């Protein structure tokens, strides 16, 4: 019995001094002390050599020893886990790994820039629906049914309802805004539009436009020209030349198209400007009195101008992009190249 007490004391001392550095050390401790051939099991076997009258006392002693070893094992296991976390986990003091950053789409960059330029002239943004009815997209804009100018824009109709279509231009938004009857009105309407066109480097079945509209008393063509001169200078820089050509749109009278000197060749003539030195960027004109009437506005009191441009065209000129399809292919090699244009 005395021997047993002395031995247990010695083992306890030994066990209290065990240190572990990793999971393998923890496992070695388990096998050595608590395994099937481990020390606890072996020392339990000593019971048989203890005198009969001391067996109770010895049993208690051995049991306490077993509990001690198990408790120590728990401690050691926790220490082992802490060590392995410390050696394999992230060092929180290091700078984080880079997350791939997205970039704004070039169309969004240019659209925002256009909005900002007109914002400085007091134009507010108005938005409408991509699914429109025939009246807002055509009839109210002085394009009654069977009007030949409807063929200028190949339209996607919605099969469930022949009166519904995908808007072919954002001019439908000017109708909705004029109908609200709050004058004067000074808005730009950015948005996606749809036309049934064969997809090529220069055309797509969907693209983006910005429509502008200013209705007040005494608005003249001179106001229109001044507004667009300002826009071109802010958008493309002071050296760019501008010219107006007479044109036809059913919703404006008179109507014009505006060209700027080619940014690619500087007016010398190249493939982008088809050797003319000029590139068309928008259509415009004085709002037709019939359109005002259709929206409940008195054309004898109010006049206004309107213009409409394709954002893709402006973006292609700003960044010298030659194929319109790149905008909708979602190729990140293309998309990651754009930072806001600064001219
Ligand atoms: N809506 C025309 C188009 O999509 C563009 C346009 C031309 C809009 C002249 C206008 C305008 O407001 O006055 O082709």
Q: What is the pLDDT of residues 241-275, one digit of tens each?
A: 999 999 999 999 999 999 999 988 888 888 888 89
Whether the Cβ atoms of residue 207 and residue 333 lie closer than 8 Å to each other = no
In angstroms, what is the span from residue 247 Cα to ligand 1's centroid?
11
Q: What phi and psi, each to the nearest 5 degrees, are found at residue 45?
A: -65, -20
Contact indicator for 259, 279 with CB cutoff of 8 Å: yes
| pLDDT band with cut points at 50, 70 and 90 for residue 35 | very high
**How far, in Å, is the centroid of ligand 1 from the Cα of 307?**
6
Output the average pLDDT for the chain.
92
pLDDT in tens, 79-94: 888 877 766 677 788 8
Task: Determine the average pLDDT of the residues in 121-145.
Answer: 96
Residues lining ligand 1, CB < 6 A? 169, 171, 211, 249, 252, 283-285, 306-308
User: Residue 339: which pLDDT band, with cuts at 50, 70 and 90?
Assistant: confident
309: CB partners within 8 A, 6+ apart: 209, 210, 281, 282, 283
Tell me the DSSP string of 97-135.
PPPPPP---HHHHHHHHHHHHHHHTTPEE----SEEEHH
69 CA to centre of ligand 1 in angstroms: 88
User: What pLDDT shows up at residue 9?
Assistant: 93
Q: Atom 13, ligand 1: which residue's CA is nearest?
A: 284
185-239 pLDDT per residue, tens: 999 999 999 999 999 998 999 999 999 999 999 999 999 999 999 999 999 999 9
How much is the pLDDT for 148?
77
d(CA 105, CA 115): 15
User: Has residue 340 got a pLDDT over 80?
Assistant: no
pTM surpassing 0.75? no
> Residue-wise over 223-254: b if at least 16 C-beta within 10 A, else e?
bbbebbeebbebbbeeebebeeeeeebbbbee
Q: What is the mean pLDDT of residues 41-57?
A: 87
Q: Name which of 71-75, 84-88, 99-103 the model is least confident about.
A: 84-88
Residue 342 is predicted with a pLDDT of 46
pLDDT > 90: percent of the chain? 73
């Amino acid at each position: 019995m005395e021997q047993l007490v002395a031995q247990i004391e010695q083992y306890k001392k030994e066990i209290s001094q065990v240190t572990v550095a990793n999971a393998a050390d923890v496992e070695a401790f388990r096998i050595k002390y608590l395994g099937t051939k481990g020390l606890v099991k072996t020392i339990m076997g000593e019971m048989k050599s203890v005198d009969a009258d001391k067996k109770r006392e010895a049993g208690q002693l051995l049991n306490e020893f077993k509990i001690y070893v198990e408790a120590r094992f728990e401690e050691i296991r926790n220490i082992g886990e802490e060590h392995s976390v410390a050696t394999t986990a992230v060092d929180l003091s290091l700078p984080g790994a880079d997350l791939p950053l997205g970039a704004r789409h070039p169309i969004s960059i240019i659209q925002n820039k256009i909005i900002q330029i007109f914002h400085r002239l007091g134009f507010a943004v108005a938005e409408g629906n991509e699914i429109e009815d025939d009246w807002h997209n055509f009839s109210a804009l002085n394009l009654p049914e069977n009007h030949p100018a409807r063929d200028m824009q190949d339209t996607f109709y919605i099969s469930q309802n022949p009166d519904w279509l995908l808007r072919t231009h954002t001019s439908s938004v000017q109708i909705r805004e004029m109908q609200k009857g709050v004058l004067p009105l000074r808005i730009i309407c950015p948005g996606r539009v749809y036309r049934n066109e064969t997809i090529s480097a220069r055309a797509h079945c969907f693209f983006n436009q910005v429509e502008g509209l200013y209705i007040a008393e005494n608005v003249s063509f001179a106001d229109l020209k001044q507004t667009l001169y300002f826009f071109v200078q802010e958008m493309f820089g002071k050296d760019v030349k501008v010219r107006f050509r007479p044109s036809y749109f059913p919703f404006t009278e008179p109507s014009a198209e505006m060209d700027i000197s080619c940014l690619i060749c500087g007016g010398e003539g190249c493939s982008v400007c088809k050797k003319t030195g000029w590139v068309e960027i928008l259509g415009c004109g004085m709002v037709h009195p019939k359109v005002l009437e259709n929206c409940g506005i008195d054309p004898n009191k109010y006049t206004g101008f309107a213009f409409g441009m394709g954002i893709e065209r402006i973006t292609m000129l700003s960044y010298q992009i030659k194929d319109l399809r790149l905008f909708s292919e979602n190729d990140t090699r293309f998309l990651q190249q754009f930072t806001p244009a600064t001219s």
